Amino acid sequence: MPGVLWAQVAEQGSSAALTANMIKAAATLSGLTFTNEECEAILNSVKQSLGRYRLLRTVKIPNDVAPPFYFSPVVSGMQVDSTPAPLRFSKPAKRPVPANLEDLALYSVAELGLLIKTRAISSEALTRMYFGRLHRLNEKLNCVVTFLDDLALAQAKQADAEIAAGKYRGPLHGIPWGAKDIIAVKGHKTTWGSGAYKDQVIDQDATVVTLLREAGAVLIAKLTTGELAGGDVWFGGRTNNPWKLDVGASGSSAGPGSAVGAGCVPFAIGTETSGSILGPSARCGVTGLRPTFGRVSRVGVMALSWTQDRLGPMCRRVEDCALVMSAITQPDGLDLAMPPIPFKWDARRDLKKIRVGYFAQAFGDTDRNPEWIKNEAATLAQLRNLGLELVPLTLPDLPYLDVLSLSVESAAFFDELLLTDRHKLLTVKTRAPRLRTARLIPAVDYLQSQRLRSMMMSALAASTAAVDVYVAPYSSGRIDPPAPPGAPQAPQNFTQQHNQMANLACYPALALPNGFATDGSPTSITFLARPYGESALLAVAKAYQDSTPFHLKLPPL
């Protein structure tokens, strides 16, 4: 309601113009009913509040300032293992350097790392191969905002010199990578995919950039993001799916999904608020990990929702995700949402000691693409062939909940964009009205929705308490026709309900390819765990992926 009043007062230019009738009208927009006497009683108080809103808007708030409250995905009674343990990776296969260096695009990060460590290939040669491939294929993919050739060559040459001098930093030393363009890199543009910010340079490195540089990784490009981390359309056009160039890569980590899927970078860092890692990974045939909320520092990264934003690796292999995670999960003392819970990985973990389940209701949804359904059934069969006993799980009996986090929190972050009229420079013109609409959400209802979120999180934790890891379909292939004006949208199926709940509960999830459709495009399956359960999640997903060939194919570009 205050947002409605503020809009009316701003239009008339004076708080003296505020009337009881305006309060009554604003209350109606908020779904409330006040009598004339009640509106008169609160009039003076509201006038004073509008004065405070004016004063608040005179303060410049830097991008990296978050509200002084921090979301936790852990609910009452949930046990989290915070005991440190050594990281144990598989021994990478010793593969030869192919005559055609572009064949390295199918090698895992670990295999590439071994070639560099043993000096079978230089980081410079590998980097030149990847950014040559990226330059050439970007004409079809449109997945790059900024090429960083000079920076990449300098970092690659430094890596080679250090390795020659016996200063090996680890398995990411000399490995090229790409960053989604909402991640700040000092001295280079960070455009957020938007015409309103296409010349923006943020004078800092994001923590994730610093950590990967310290690990010796070589940054070769800023990869596309859908505008303001939404969709796959940015100010340079649409990012394309490498398997089907006539459709988008999905969003908003569209550039990372497209580039990794096409073999243009060995790995990339994407971000997710609501499907932005899992979606492009599923559509582009990528293995992408959405970590638990708070696993990776968000300092230096555009905010969309302070209670949902996460950063994660997008790779070709499951264990590559674990390798990258081991480098980027170091607390920086700046993102206060990061708890002291170590990331663990043991490639030799006994699968028989991991309890695995599946959401039977979601796999029973028949209103989805039948080719995806067929490949999902084959995935469950393959998991059973691995000796895993799959426990059927039931979705909590709760209505679909829109907890308003994304709407309200993104509107707060982009408030200055609207107040300064720079929204006129936005590429997608429908974004500004959506941001304005969030002004109409009452603060009381926002907080009530967060209380409902807590109830949902507890219910989902109870539903998954019998397992360590579970499998669920991604929202694969269901396409509802647009409803006529004023008509209700089609109800969510179990798959959509589960994915929404797991996302709002900030569960870790990993998407990986599990087959192909008849048109040649990949299908995908999702593995999930409760908060901070990435180790078991990755172990089960790796066992499945190692028993299938789907990740070993590149699109026919």
One-letter amino acid at 277 equals: I
Q: Is residue 278 part of a domain?
A: yes
Q: Is residue 82 part of a domain?
A: no
pTM: 0.93
487 Cβ partners below 8 Å, 6+ apart? none
Please count the other Cβ atoms lying within 10 Å of the Cβ belonging to residue 403.
21
Q: Is residue 372 part of a domain?
A: yes
d(CA 413, CA 426): 15
201 Cβ partners below 8 Å, 6+ apart? 187, 188, 189, 190
- Please classify residue 554 by burial: count the beta carbons closer than 10 Å to its beta carbon, then call 0-12 exposed, 13-18 middle and 19+ buried: middle
Contact (Cβ atoms closer than 8 angstroms) between residue 148 and residue 206: no
pLDDT band at 481 (very low <50, low <70, confident <90, very high): very low
pLDDT digits (tens, 9 = 90+) for 220-273: 999 999 999 999 999 999 999 999 999 999 999 999 999 999 999 999 999 999
d(CA 364, CA 359): 9
44 Cβ partners below 8 Å, 6+ apart? none
Q: Is residue 519 part of a domain?
A: yes
Q: Is residue 539 part of a domain?
A: yes
Between 138 and 47, where is the model more confident? Answer: 138
- Say yes or no to pLDDT of 370 above 50: yes
- Say yes or no to pLDDT of 482 above 90: no
d(CA 296, CA 508): 12
pLDDT band at 405 (very low <50, low <70, confident <90, very high): confident
d(CA 255, CA 313): 13
Domain carrying residue 502: 101-397+457-478+489-552
d(CA 240, CA 142): 6
d(CA 435, CA 242): 32
To the nearest whole number, what is the mean pLDDT of the chain? 92
Question: In total, how many domains does the chain have?
Answer: 1
Question: Tokens representing 150?
Answer: 């000079």
Model pLDDT, residue 116: 98
Q: Is residue 153 part of a domain?
A: yes
Q: Is residue 90 part of a domain?
A: no
Read off the pLDDT of each residue in 185-189 and give the average, rounded to a whole number.
98
Read off the pLDDT of each residue in 354-360 and give the average, rounded to a whole number.
96
Q: What is the CATH number of the domain that holds 360?
A: 3.90.1300.10
pLDDT digits (tens, 9 = 90+) for 58-114: 888 888 899 988 899 999 999 999 999 999 999 999 999 999 999 999 999 999 999
Q: Is residue 483 part of a domain?
A: no
Whole-Å CA distances, 295 to 108, 208, 314, 536: 23, 11, 15, 15
Q: Are strands 356-359 and 469-472 parallel, antiparallel or unpaired?
A: parallel
